[in-house]
Amino acid sequence: MIFSKTKLILALLFILIFTLLALPRITFQINDQTYVIPEFSIFPQDQARIGNFKKGMDVFNSVEATARLDFGTQGLDDSQKFEVLKQTIERVQNRLTQVGMHDVDLRGEFGDDEYRLIFNYPEYYQQIPAITNLLTRKGEITFVNSQATTEIDFKDSDINSNIEVGYLPGLQSHIRFTFPESKSLEIQQALVDRFFLMSIDGTPEVQIFQYDQNDLTNFTLRGLPNTPESIGDIAFRDTYINILRTYFNEDAPLEFSMSVDESLSIIPPSVNELSVRFIALFSIMMFVALTIVTLIKYKFKGGIFFLLASATYLSLTITLLKYISAPLSLVSVLTYLVLTGVTSILIWRMIEVDNNEEMKFVLKKIRHIGVIIVVISLFTLRFIPDLGRTFEIFATFLIFGLSYLLLGLINFKVLIENLILNYKNNAK
């Protein structure tokens, strides 16, 4: 009995901690003094976020950037130019998919002898012109010596299959190349000046070197981008490296270069009526309505159980979504609401449990559902490319699957034992 009470206290503590983590930071003013509650947050805070969530598509504004194809002096006719535009869209879309920028919309436009690629970014993206510029580069990679005077023949060193994003406290995010021992001579020759440069479309942009003794013995090279944006902004550096990696996966660079417009257009959300306030109010109303229905249907203890079980999964899923910096988009909100409905049905099923055996059976089912959802979501996210906005559905599903699995093992069991079974046994 004492052990059971301790478990209940631990379960309540679990709920309390995750509820605190899930709560948004509230800012208000009294007599010209601004108060922020809670004062600290373990999640990143910036202008592009709302309550720790990224500002996603269809609920917030989006930003449109334009890149124009430059055909130069080549005399292509309209149909050839159209073909080039289509191929370029395909290539850039591949780059977007490989980098994992699933929420960026891309389309093509042509008219008045102008061939354009239009990018539609959610509001949370920073440095949009620089990102667009990287995505639309030809992707022609060459290696030159430290003075950028002589080309180094390094492309035959299987470099394409050995490129990764590395992280070291001193360097932070950087590119890491790992080679087999047989390539040691090429590495030595390239590093004759201690470092050499990697050029993209003829411009030297990445400095390549060996960082420490381990690199020497492991035949590892590290590259650090030296563009102004990637030096000052670590998040952008990650994006830079990820896009750069896609150039290595391509058979040949793009045929024509593109110029990116510096000016950006702000596009209002497609669902104008759906404000963040409405989403919050609607969710609270739904939660209150479901709790009242449960109180009527399953009496007081059932209602309390519903309240605590809902608080557990809601706080856990919101914290996990905050942790992965999920975007607050129409798709993710809709999925979250739907899954909240499904979870309410699962909780109602838990209230109907009559004995220990049945509880084990129901919890086993919930864990099974968790496993199935996690497997489907991981498979989909990993192996089905070009999912568009469906990507966010499965990211939300993954979080719910994980929480079913975790709560089916720990919290739900303690809550059912203490609030449902004890009560039913006493009533008997």
Partner 1 sequence: MQNKIKKITKRVVIIFLPILIIASILFVIVNRGFYFSDFKDSFVVEVLTSDNSLQDEFIQNFQRRDDLARVDGNKLYFQNSDLGEVSLEAELNTRENLEYNIYTEIANNREVLINNVILTIFILVVAVLSVFYLYSAESKKFNLKEYLNVFSPFFIASLTYLITSIGLLSIISRLRYIQEWDFLPIILSQIIFTVLFVISFRKIERDEALTFEIFSARLYRSLRLYLVQILIISILTVLTFSVAFGAGVFFISLIFIFSILLFSTIIFWVSTIRIGYPKFRVRVKELKVKRVVSREKGEGSIKDTSVKESAKKKKKPSKKKKNKKKKS
Which pair of tokens denotes residue 413?
A: 């069991």
**Hunting for tokens 């009559």 — which residue is that?**
354
- Which positions touch partner 1 (CB under 8 A)? 58, 85-86, 89, 93, 105-112, 114, 270-271, 273-274, 278, 282, 285, 289, 330-331, 334-335, 337-338, 341-342, 345-346, 348-349, 357-358, 361, 365-366, 368-369, 372-373, 375-376, 380, 384-390, 393, 397
Distance from the Cα of residue 84 to its chain's centroid = 31
By beta-carbon proximity to partner 1, the closer residue of 261 and 358 is: 358
The DSSP bridge partners found for residue 30 are 33
Q: How far is the CB of 57 from partner 1 (least distance, A)?
A: 9
By beta-carbon proximity to partner 1, the closer residue of 316 and 346 is: 346
By beta-carbon proximity to partner 1, the closer residue of 303 and 370 is: 370
Q: How far is the CB of 345 from partner 1 (least distance, A)?
A: 6
Are 106 and 96 a contacting pair, CB within 8 Å?
Answer: yes
Q: How far is the CB of 258 from partner 1 (least distance, A)?
A: 15
By beta-carbon proximity to partner 1, the closer residue of 130 and 374 is: 374
Residue 187: its H or E element: helix 184-190
Phi, psi of 227 (to 5 degrees): -75, 150
Cα distances (Å, whole numbers) of residue 288 to 22, 292, 310, 312, 322: 18, 6, 11, 15, 23
How does strand 327-328 pair with strand 53-55?
Answer: parallel
Phi, psi of 239 (to 5 degrees): -60, -45
Dihedral over alpha carbons 210, 212, 218, 219 (to 10 degrees): 20
Q: How far is the CB of 388 from partner 1 (least distance, A)?
A: 4
The DSSP bridge partners found for residue 37 are 26
Phi, psi of 137 (to 5 degrees): -75, 160
Q: How far is the CB of 146 from partner 1 (least distance, A)?
A: 41
Are 121 and 179 a contacting pair, CB within 8 Å?
Answer: no
Q: How far is the CB of 48 from partner 1 (least distance, A)?
A: 22
By beta-carbon proximity to partner 1, the closer residue of 242 and 335 is: 335
Q: How far is the CB of 229 from partner 1 (least distance, A)?
A: 26
By beta-carbon proximity to partner 1, the closer residue of 40 and 383 is: 383
Which pair of tokens denotes residue 319?
A: 């914290």
By beta-carbon proximity to partner 1, the closer residue of 36 and 375 is: 375
Q: Where are the alpha helices (DSSP H) in 249-354?
A: 276-323, 330-351
